[in-house]
Amino acid sequence: MDKKFIKATESACSFENHVAAPYIRKSFVIPFKPEKAIIDICGLGFYELYINGSRITKGALAPYISNPEHYCYIDEYDVTKYLHDGENVVGVILGNGFFNSFGGAVWDFDKAPWTGAPILALEFTAESAGNRYNFSADESFKVHSSPIIFDELRMGEYYDASKELCGWSSPGFDDSTWKNAICTDAPRGDFKLCEAEPIRIQKELKPVNIFRCTDGYIYDFGENNAGVCRLEINAIPGQRIELRHGELLKDGELDISSIIFGRTGYYYEYNQKDVYIAKGENKEVYVPSFTYHGFRYVLVKGITSEQATTDLLTYLVMSSDMKTIGDFKCSDETVNTLFDMVKRSDRSNFYYFPTDCPHREKNGWTGDASLSAAHMALLYDTEKSWREWLHNIRKAQTESGMLPGIVPTAGWGYEWGNGPAWDSVLFNLPYQLYKCRGCIDVIKENETAMMNYLQYAISRCDSDGTLAIGLGDWVPVGKKASDYDAPLALTDTVMLMDMARKAELMFKEINSDGNAEYACEIYKKLRTALRKTMIDTDTLLVKGNSESSQAIALYYGLFNEDEKEQAFARLLELIKDNNDSMDGGFIGLRALFHVLSEFGYTDMAFNMITKSEYPSYGHLIELGETTIVEQIMPDGVPCGSHNHHFLGDISRWFIENIGGLKIIDSRTVEINPKPPKNITSAEAYYDFSDGRISVSWKRDESGINMNIKNQSGAKLVINMQPECRICINCDETD
């Protein structure tokens, strides 16, 4: 595909100057009957593609969200079946997308070197019996303003239905008054075919409640999710309907206080707002094309009481169209609710890659994805999407090996917002794909980048051999986000040590012995430095004197075998001093519950997670949350975002300890339920590429009856509790 780009105008849309998304069309006649016809399209930002009046776009927000200085993404369509004899028309509506993301001023996207009016590259090729007909986007394409009079990825979309041009993408339409497209320079990024799953509707929700508020009507959909609303209305000409989306209510009004990032002067006016101006012809249906929102509630302004019905709005819940490959449920409804909250948060925050929140930033924060990698790998087939994002992560890596805290970025995130806990995404995504899916190619793709990072990070170590250069045990329970107890030198060095350990395993798998040896040496040096600087050898207390510090040291293997029991006893003392409640940030909480179960304290971990009193996950249910929050805080204290995924590792704990299904590697699964005493049944499954492994068990007066089905080629390692009776493949009892 040639790097020939066009645009409709020199003017770029902004808050101050609304510029409509353009209609773009090309009429053509193929001089033979094609056996096959292909369109390759690169829209920067987003596009909607039509052939002879039919919308054929793969999904929402196509083609991808990327830095165009790194990659310009292409989608390919086989359009053979849509073609006619005689005149044919290809039509495109082109939105701003990430290319002109002027609402992201906090992260300097408004200052990106590529920012401007959206641009398009398109190539059509038809072939038959040695004949070939093709064209590329050039000045012969015709352009005209569309009804989308304003669009911005984070802020919303405005649509004026009176500006619709019926039949604009169909044959026979008169475009003689339209302007010709403008040829423009191509971005520096490489053309790349998008291999990530498209963004599609996962389910539709109707409102569970509608009520009057000061400015209009509140629609409550019962769940916090991400997507857009489909508006269906019989309106009068020119009627202006405004949809304002949010996570929260306060005193019966929409509360957007959790959407804290917005461009100064435009925050309240634009954030998460869609506007529809009706043409007044029978029923009108509107679905935003070039934005999405995170929300449970919608404030609807500009409608009458007669129009405020359940049929007015439908919540189109969207995410990357990843296949679900693992699931869990048990007899405890609190656990099931929390598990569903994690899944809802994961999906809400997966738009081509893991994002940090759907209502606010929509950024690919690397630390969020890295700390969620293990649990997401158990629930979804993330391979295509993760591998695509890793291409972008590698492009964002500097020559020195440094990584930014967000990908894609326009340059923000190298000076703040990164560090080993965030940078570990470069290792944890390939490692989880290798561990769970047996993916070897992803190791090879990332080997050089991983080595560059290890060399960079080691060069930043202090004279005592530890590292302290980034963000640490972020968002600790009940404290400011950066007021963590675990020392930064502990968490940064532990994260680098863990990266080196995983790198060694992965490099050995691809027979890269020299690099594996290098990673092993780094692991040993870092562990030695941590033991020397962070552990009191008399008490086996870790610096920070906190649950988080102690749990992290145990989870990541800082203690020798003969020290573990005493070190764990110190952890229990810290927990007792904290009224048997959980404590720590997003690194410590991820370790704490697994460590407790490893040492036989599953009931304690279960109570910490599920109790209804603060601090706990169960308390979130009491507060009415339907997704996992950014930070667990006391009642009445802001928790940041109400839809985050990086505290979702409890789902892995549920699967492994209550369900009893633990993936050792893509060839080995351990079956070892450690059920809390008040759980009476559970079931979990995981789909390998060659089949499913499922575990279910029920407790009665005689013990636990466990049923295991293995339809995959993985080996089972069964560690029975004394009370278990096992039926394998439903054929025989051991």
- 314-337 tens-digit pLDDT: 999 999 999 999 999 999 999 999
Indicate whether 33 and 89 sit together in one domain: yes
Indicate whether 204 and 191 sit together in one domain: no
The total domain count for the chain is: 4
Express each pLDDT in 681-690 by its tens digit: 999 999 999 9
Residues in the chain: 734
Q: In which band, very low, low, confident or very high, does the pLDDT at 731 lie, cut at 50, 70 and 90?
A: very low
Q: Examine residue 705 and state whether it is found in any structural domain, yes or no.
A: yes
Rg (CA), the chain: 27
DSSP 672-716: -----TT--EEEEEEEETTEEEEEEEEEETTEEEEEEEE-SSPEE
- pLDDT averaged over the chain? 96
- How many alpha carbons fall within 13 Å on the CB side of residue 673? 30
Q: Is 365 helix (H, G, I), strand (E, B) or coil?
A: strand
Reported in sequence order, the residue ranges of 258-405 that DSSP labels E, i.e. its strands, are 273-277, 283-286, 293-301, 313-320, 326-330, 350-351, 353-354
Q: Examine residue 395 and state whether it is found in any structural domain, yes or no.
A: yes
Residue-level pLDDT at 281:
83
* CB-based contacts of 565, cutoff 8 Å, min separation 6: none
Indicate whether 187 and 269 sit together in one domain: no
370 φ, ψ (degrees, to nearest 5)? -65, -45
Indicate whether 185 and 260 sit together in one domain: no
Indicate whether 240 and 344 sit together in one domain: no
Mean pLDDT, to the nearest integer, of 655-672?
97
Express each pLDDT in 601-615 by its tens digit: 999 999 999 999 999
Find out whether 606 and 331 touch, Cβ atoms under 8 Å.
no
Mean pLDDT, to the nearest integer, of 626-642?
96
Indicate whether 172 and 236 sit together in one domain: no
Q: Examine residue 379 and state whether it is found in any structural domain, yes or no.
A: yes
Indicate whether 688 and 611 sit together in one domain: no
CATH of the domain at 121: 2.60.120.260
Q: In which band, very low, low, confident or very high, does the pLDDT at 734 lie, cut at 50, 70 and 90?
A: very low
* pLDDT higher than 70, residue 389: yes
CA–CA distance, 550 with 556 (Å, rounded to integer): 10
| Domain end residue (candidates: 175, 195, 215) | 195
CA–CA distance, 17 with 19 (Å, rounded to integer): 6
Q: In which band, very low, low, confident or very high, does the pLDDT at 730 lie, cut at 50, 70 and 90?
A: very low
Q: Examine residue 420 and state whether it is found in any structural domain, yes or no.
A: yes
**Residue 267, number of CB atoms within 10 A of its CB:** 15
Indicate whether 164 and 259 sit together in one domain: no
Q: Is 258 helix (H, G, I), strand (E, B) or coil?
A: coil
* CB-based contacts of 579, cutoff 8 Å, min separation 6: none
In our burial notation (b when 16+ CB lie closer than 10 A, e otherwise), range 350-383 reads: bbbbbbbbbbbbbbbbbbbbbbbbbbbbbbbbbb
Residue-level pLDDT at 637:
96
Residue-level pLDDT at 478:
97
Q: In which band, very low, low, confident or very high, does the pLDDT at 729 lie, cut at 50, 70 and 90?
A: low
Place of tokens 């005149």: 87
* pLDDT higher than 90, residue 160: yes
* CB-based contacts of 164, cutoff 8 Å, min separation 6: 147, 279
Indicate whether 218 and 158 sit together in one domain: no
654 φ, ψ (degrees, to nearest 5)? -60, -50
| Domain end residue (candidates: 267, 293, 320) | 320
Instruction: Provide the whole-model pTM.
Output: 0.97
Residue-level pLDDT at 266:
79
| Domain end residue (candidates: 297, 320, 343) | 320
- Cα 587–Cα 588–Cα 589 angle in degrees, nearest 5: 95
* pLDDT higher than 60, residue 733: no
Indicate whether 182 and 223 sit together in one domain: no
Indicate whether 381 and 468 sit together in one domain: yes
CA–CA distance, 688 with 671 (Å, rounded to integer): 15
Bond prior to 237 in cis (omega within 30° of 0): no
CA–CA distance, 237 with 644 (Å, rounded to integer): 41
Residue-level pLDDT at 673:
94
Residue-level pLDDT at 280:
95
Q: Examine residue 561 and state whether it is found in any structural domain, yes or no.
A: yes
Q: Examine residue 668 and state whether it is found in any structural domain, yes or no.
A: no
Find out whether 444 and 387 touch, Cβ atoms under 8 Å.
no
Q: In which band, very low, low, confident or very high, does the pLDDT at 262 lie, cut at 50, 70 and 90?
A: low
CA–CA distance, 77 with 87 (Å, rounded to integer): 19
What token pair was written down for 580?
């048997």
Residue-level pLDDT at 53:
98
State the DSSP code for 647.
Answer: T
**Sign of dihedral through CA atoms 352, 354, 356, 357?**
positive
Find out whether 65 and 361 touch, Cβ atoms under 8 Å.
no
CATH of the domain at 370: 1.50.10.10
Q: Examine residue 666 and state whether it is found in any structural domain, yes or no.
A: no
Q: Examine residue 293 and state whether it is found in any structural domain, yes or no.
A: yes
CA distances from 632 to 92, 365, 425, 584 (A): 45, 19, 23, 10
Where in the sequence is the domain holding 722, given as residue range(s)?
Answer: 681-733
Q: In which band, very low, low, confident or very high, does the pLDDT at 732 lie, cut at 50, 70 and 90?
A: very low
Indicate whether 107 and 220 sit together in one domain: no
